[in-house]
Structures are given as structure tokens and as C-alpha cells.
């Protein structure tokens, strides 16, 4: 069959176009498949992280319950345990491990809230917590910590590529993988082990972040500044002369802000009302430590003085990935305002300021007029659990579980085994408002 040269060219052109189209479709399908896989793995990772965090919370709250000195505090801790346990079960149910037989683990998460509630009910009825009650709370706390450590280790293995979410069915069914890859389900089987010391429970019955919900105190009545004026604030705060502004990136909500950025990864937000630096981020990997924590605090203090002239004192710090993050709290007349917080992150290799977050301070700081406490320090001391040794006492304002705040005596205490605890007694009502555990290490002091 003879075909003309023109027809031959058309056929070749058609086949070439078809091949290109098929290639594009294959690439699109591959990208879609890769995207779906990435979304699945991201969702799984979020659930692993959520479960780890909820177990951390359960362990911490149980530990606090041992030292609760009032029925109200034990009831509040019990309510938190209910919430944390429900969150943990929800996260666990979304993981491949939901198809495993984790009867003991789900039993633990169900019982922990019920048991603490029964203790709170007994306490409210006039009974005292006995040694067995406190021992059970201690054992439950230790078990929750064990589960939490297991989960954090699993998460680290996933990050290092040692565990995979792929072929979860094979992992669940116990099938061997030809490549010897471990599946994430293997990290959950340990959950059912080590229940030998689990306590026999006999009972009746089977600081929150509200920044985005509260009108910022410091922005009330403030004049709105222009984008050009805000740019000067951002340049001074970041030291970058190449900042850009795109109106579509500006933040709205309760704290409307201009947002600026440059090509080096620096971002800064300046409030439209008042022109305050809201936050600044200049993240980079920090490979080593050349500065001590004390030197990092000094760097943070110098930076804070350049952007905020109010009185603030450093409270606690944490070192992670060679970055030191320091918490500063407002201070007035020897009262520490833990509601008015600014966080500053310092690179420990050269002292660069990598992060600044004043949203908590801008939200809560106002000119407060505090009167003398209604309750004497002596009477407040009597409200602290007798199982604690009081080392010192100061006055402080702390956030409540809502958007309000509480004027309290802050008692620094030691437990019989040397753990440090902060107990907050309301300076007006005598109510035990909060218990915080201090975690002190070479990487800083954290409150949980």
C-alpha cells in the first residue's frame, strides 16, 4: 500500500502526540498515586504523634493526681484524663494497629479515666486518698509513661526509615517481607506485653491555649499602621533588607497582622493595630553547640530589649536540636504573670535569633491593679498536700482552663523522692488551682 509523504508525516505526528499524551497521563497517575501515598503516610504520622502526646499527657496527669490536695483539683485532673484517654483511643483506632488484638491497651485507656473519677467522687464525699490509692496512681502513671516511650521510639524509627506504613496487611497477618522491611505494626505489639505489674483497680463504675479565641488586650484602642510602617518594624526585627509583602499572606482573625518574608526563609508578622512584632521565624538547622544556655538567655534578653520595652523575666528554657527556647513572663511588683509570655529561640552555634513569639503576651498583657491577697500565706500553705515539702513561696498570676486568669500563691515543693513540683493556691479563695511537674535536665527545665 502506497501512502503519500504528507499522510506518512501526519501518521507519525499523530503517533508522537499519542505517545506524549500517554506519557503525560502516566506521569499524572504516578503523581496522583504518590500524592495519595504521601497524604496517607502524613495522616498516619499525625496519628502516631497524637497517640504519643496523649499518652504523655495521661502519665503526667496521673502523676499530678498523687499530690492533689483538694477534691476540686482531683476532679479537674479526672476530667482531663477522660479527655486524654478518649483522644488516645481515637488516634490508636486510626492506625494499622487497630486491626491487632490490643485488648489490654484499650482496657488501660478505658480504666484510667474511670478509676480517677471514682477517686475524685470518694474525695468529694469526705474520704481521704489512702496509700493504696496513691500507689495505684503511681503505677498507672509509670505504665502510661512506658507506652508513651514505646510510641516515641516508634515515631523515631519511622522518621529514620526503619519502619514502614506500606504493606500493613502483611505486617498484621504476620507475613514475611522479602526485603526484610519492618512494618509499623510491629511497634505496637509490645503494647500487650509487660502487664504483670498492672494494678488491680477496684472502684465504683465502669495552662490551655486560647490565643485565637480572645481579643488581644494590647491591641485594644491602638491606631492601625500602614504596611510601609510595619515593614520597618519587620526589617529591624529580622535584620533582613530583602523582605517582601504580599497582601494575600496577611493574617486576619483576632490579631490582624502584616506578614513579610524573604527568599532565605525568614518570616515576620507585625500587628496592624499598634505595630507590634507578633512573631518572627528564621529557622535553619543548627549542627553544633558553641554557646551555653546562660549565654543563650543573654542573647535572648538583648533581642527582647530591642523589640519590647516592658518588664519581663526569663522563667524556663528548653534545648532541642541545638536550639534554646526561653520563656519570658511579665513581672510587676514582685508578681510573675505566667499569662503574659514571650518565647525566644536562640541558635546555640552562633547566637542567632531563630524565633520570637509574642502572641501570648499581646493577647493577655494589660495594666492590672492587684490588691493584697485575701488569704494569708500561712493559710495557703495549709492547703498544700502534706506529702509535699514546701521550699519557697511567691505570688503569681496563672491562666485558668478558660480564658480567665487566677491570682495565686506559687509554692515550690519537693516530693519524698526528690521530684520538684509547683502548686498554685488561689490567693483569694484558697482553691488548689494547678499542679505542675518540673522536668529538669541538662536540656533545660520544663513544666508539665
pLDDT per position as a tens digit, 419-444: 999 999 999 999 999 888 887 777 77
Q: Is 409 found in the same domain as 300?
A: no
* pTM for this model (two decimals): 0.59
pLDDT value at residue 50: 79
| Number of independent structural domains in the chain | 3
pLDDT value at residue 330: 93
In a domain, 15, yes or no: no
Q: Is 58 found in the same domain as 96?
A: yes
Domain boundary among 307, 333, 364: 364
Closest CA to 447 of 322, 348, 290, 338: 338
Q: What is the dihedral of CA 345, 351, 352, 358, to 10 degrees?
A: 30
pLDDT value at residue 9: 53
- Structural domain boundaries enclosing 426: 377-447
In a domain, 4, yes or no: no
Report, in this order, helix, strand and coil percent for the chain, each rounded to 5: 45, 25, 30
Q: Is 269 found in the same domain as 324?
A: yes
Q: Residue 67: exposed, middle, or buried by beta-carbon count in 10 A (0-12, 13-18, 19+)?
A: buried
- Helical (H) or strand (E) element with 306: helix 293-307
In a domain, 25, yes or no: no
Q: Is 257 found in the same domain as 357?
A: yes
Label residues 157-171 b or e (16+ Cβ within 10 Å = b): bbeeeebbbebbeeb
pLDDT value at residue 221: 93
Question: How far is Cα 22 from Cα 369, in angstroms, rounded to an integer?
Answer: 73
In a domain, 173, yes or no: no
Q: Is 357 found in the same domain as 397?
A: no
Q: What is the pLDDT of residues 189-230, one digit of tens each?
A: 555 554 445 554 544 433 334 444 678 999 999 999 999 999
In a domain, 385, yes or no: yes
At 377, list the grid cell.
500565706
**Terminal CA-to-CA distance of the chain, rounded, Å?**
85
In a domain, 251, yes or no: yes
In a domain, 182, yes or no: no
Domain boundary among 364, 388, 406: 364
Neighbour count for residue 398 (Cβ, 10 Å)? 20
Q: Which residue ranges of the chain lie beneath pLDDT 70?
A: 1-44, 95-104, 107, 113-114, 117, 121, 123-125, 158-213, 401-403, 446-448
pLDDT value at residue 15: 58
In a domain, 198, yes or no: no
Q: Is 343 found in the same domain as 421?
A: no
Q: Is 232 found in the same domain as 333?
A: yes
pLDDT value at residue 365: 92
Amino acid at each position: 500500500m502506497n501512502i503519500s509523504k504528507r499522510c506518512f508525516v501526519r501518521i507519525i505526528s499523530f503517533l508522537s502526540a499519542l505517545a506524549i499524551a500517554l506519557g503525560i497521563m502516566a506521569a499524572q497517575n504516578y503523581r496522583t498515586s504518590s500524592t495519595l501515598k504521601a497524604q496517607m503516610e502524613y495522616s498516619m504520622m499525625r496519628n502516631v504523634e497524637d497517640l504519643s502526646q496523649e499518652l504523655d499527657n495521661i502519665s503526667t496527669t496521673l502523676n499530678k493526681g498523687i499530690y492533689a490536695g483538694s477534691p476540686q483539683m482531683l476532679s479537674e485532673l479526672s476530667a482531663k484524663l477522660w479527655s486524654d484517654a478518649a483522644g488516645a483511643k481515637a488516634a490508636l483506632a486510626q492506625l494499622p494497629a487497630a486491626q491487632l488484638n490490643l485488648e489490654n491497651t484499650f482496657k488501660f485507656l478505658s480504666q484510667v479515666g474511670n478509676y480517677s473519677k471514682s477517686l475524685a467522687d470518694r474525695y468529694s464525699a469526705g474520704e481521704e486518698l489512702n496509700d493504696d490509692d496513691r500507689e495505684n496512681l503511681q503505677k498507672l502513671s509509670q505504665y502510661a509513661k512506658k507506652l508513651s516511650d514505646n510510641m516515641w521510639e516508634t515515631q523515631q524509627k519511622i522518621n529514620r526509615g526503619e519502619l514502614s506504613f506500606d504493606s500493613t496487611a502483611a505486617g498484621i497477618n504476620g507475613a514475611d517481607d522479602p526485603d526484610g522491611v519492618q512494618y509499623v505494626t510491629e511497634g505496637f505489639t509490645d503494647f500487650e506485653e509487660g502487664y504483670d505489674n498492672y494494678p488491680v483497680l477496684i472502684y465504683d463504675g465502669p495552662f490551655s491555649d486560647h490565643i485565637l479565641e480572645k481579643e488581644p488586650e494590647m491591641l485594644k484602642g491602638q491606631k492601625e499602621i500602614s504596611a510601609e510602617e510595619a515593614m520597618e518594624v519587620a526589617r529591624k526585627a529580622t535584620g533582613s533588607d530583602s523582605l517582601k509583602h504580599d497582601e494575600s499572606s496577611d493574617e486576619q482573625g483576632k490579631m490582624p497582622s502584616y506578614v513579610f518574608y524573604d527568599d532565605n526563609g525568614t518570616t515576620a508578622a507585625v500587628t496592624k493595630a499598634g505595630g507590634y512584632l507578633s512573631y518572627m521565624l528564621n529557622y535553619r538547622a543548627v549542627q553544633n553547640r558553641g554557646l551555653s544556655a546562660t549565654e543563650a538567655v543573654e542573647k535572648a534578653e538583648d533581642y527582647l530589649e530591642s523589640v519590647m520595652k516592658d518588664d519581663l523575666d526569663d522563667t524556663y528554657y528548653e534545648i532541642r536540636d541545638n536550639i534554646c527556647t526561653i520563656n519570658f513572663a511579665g513581672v510587676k511588683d514582685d508578681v510573675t504573670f505566667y499569662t503574659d509570655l514571650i518565647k525566644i529561640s536562640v541558635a546555640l552555634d552562633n547566637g542567632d535569633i531563630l524565633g520570637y513569639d509574642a502572641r501570648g503576651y499581646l493577647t493577655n498583657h494589660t495594666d492590672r491593679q492587684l490588691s493584697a491577697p485575701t488569704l494569708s500565706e500561712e493559710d495557703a500553705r495549709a492547703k498544700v498536700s502534706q506529702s509535699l515539702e514546701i521550699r519557697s513561696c511567691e505570688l503569681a498570676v496563672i491562666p485558668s482552663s478558660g480564658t480567665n486568669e487566677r491570682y495565686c500563691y506559687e509554692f515550690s515543693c519537693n516530693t519524698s523522692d526528690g521530684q520538684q513540683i509547683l502548686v498554685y493556691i488561689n490567693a483569694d479563695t484558697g482553691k488548689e488551682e494547678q499542679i505542675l511537674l518540673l522536668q529538669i535536665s541538662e536540656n533545660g527545665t520544663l513544666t508539665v
